[in-house]
Amino acid sequence: MGICPHCKNRPHEITIEPITLNGGPREKWDGLIYSCPSCHFVLSVGFDPLAIKTQMLDRIEEMFRKPFVVVERSNSVRVCDVKV
């Protein structure tokens, strides 16, 4: 088990708080702050894995809702989005 580098306690649990990670004007992600419950020192910051999973599933579901047209060309098949 790890030791908090700030207060030197051995936490038996970690406090997790949501945060928005900002990568620029168009890049924002859901993140998490992991901190010591005794002194509230930030131990780590990272992407929220559940938010990433939910966002990926939402995007995949959205892709399957869009209508599309199959265009055949010689030996290959090309799938095109339909502009509605």
Residue 50 has pLDDT above 80, yes or no: yes
Identify any residues that bridge with 80 across adjacent strands, giving them in sequence order.
Answer: 69
Angle at 34 between CA 32 and CA 36, to 5 degrees: 155
**1-48 tens-digit pLDDT:** 689 999 999 999 999 999 999 988 888 889 999 999 999 999 999 999
Query: What is residue 63's three-state secondary structure?
Result: helix
